[in-house]
Amino acid sequence: MKHVVAVASGKGGVGKSTVAANLAVALANGESKKKVALIDVDFYGPSIPTLMGGGELKVDEKEKFIPALRYGVKYISIAFFLQNPDDPIVWRGPMFGKAINQLFHDVNWGDIDIAIVDMPPGTGDAQLSLSQMVSLSGAVVVSTPQEVALADVRRAIKMFEKVNVDVLGVVENMAGFITPAGERYDIFGTGGGEALSSTYDLPMLASLPIDMAVREGGDTGEPIAIAPDTTCGSIFHELANSLLAALERKEAAQPSLKIVN
């Protein structure tokens, strides 16, 4: 995996998994046609299989798992290992590290350009385990415009700073609702994403409105990013391009090794 990017929020309910799934689909189906992995480490609320339309795991001749594949994205989730999809995951902290290690190393991923990791809410065991076990290229933080979400995202940004993971930018989700008549309602407030971006000097990667098509696509397993001609589909493809540009800038800023004879 050339790049591993965490999609995090600090707070649940802001659409983080929806952003992660659609970002992965946009990366795989955009102009760059990247080879993409989507890894669901939101163990307490694994929703990637639902968002991606189900799927199943197989095992290869080396007894490694073959990930599910849809829309050009290879993906895996702890949900595939549950006997009943409604069974809860009841784990203590050390189990997170073991499970994350298995999702990365016991799966036959093949050649991958970029892995998108759907993180759980919070700043605890899963975040620390991932940052210690995997060389992250960076993180994308997702928030709604309201202060109660922004407060948790600020904590997530500071957590990534402490574990030396670069935050590549901010995605503002649920940024207003526009009625069919063209009226706009800022249900969750306005300007929160821009304020967060300005405070921490981070790029504003995307601002997504509330769109019923996004919700419908998530429920039916047909991510809106497969339709780049739609309003939010096009925004997700712009987000994918912005993320790739951020990764390129980071690579260009890395010091090069000069060998002197």
Q: CA of 207: how far to CAs of 78, 86, 131, 182, 234, in Å? A: 29, 32, 26, 18, 11
**Residues 88, 75: Cα–Cα separation, whole Å:** 20
Query: Which tokens hold the place of 195?
Result: 């304020």
pLDDT score for 256 = 58
CB atoms within 10 A of CB 181: 5
Pairing of strands 68-70, 3-8: unpaired
pLDDT score for 106 = 93
pLDDT score for 257 = 53
**Residues 157, 173: Cα–Cα separation, whole Å:** 17
Banded model confidence at residue 258, pLDDT cuts 50, 70, 90: low
pLDDT score for 261 = 53
pLDDT score for 127 = 81
pLDDT score for 82 = 85
User: With 70 as the cut, is the pLDDT of residue 259 above it?
Assistant: no
Cα 162–chain centre separation? 20
Cα 149–chain centre separation? 17
Highest mean pLDDT: which of 106-110, 119-123, 127-131?
Answer: 106-110
Half-sphere exposure of 220 (CA within 13 A, CB side): 10
User: With 70 as the cut, is the pLDDT of residue 81 above it?
Assistant: yes
Q: What is the mean pLDDT of the chain?
A: 90
pLDDT score for 10 = 79
Domains in the chain, ordered, with CATH?
3-253 (3.40.50.300)
pLDDT score for 158 = 92
Phi-psi region for residue 72, left (φ > 0), alpha (ψ -120 to 50) or beta?
left
Query: Which tokens hold the place of 71?
Result: 């829309």
pLDDT in tens, 204-213: 999 999 999 9
Banded model confidence at residue 123, pLDDT cuts 50, 70, 90: confident
Classified as helix, coil or strand, 249 is helix
pLDDT score for 183 = 86
User: With 80 as the cut, is the pLDDT of residue 137 above it?
Assistant: yes
User: 167 and 157 in contact (C-beta within 8 Å)?
Assistant: yes
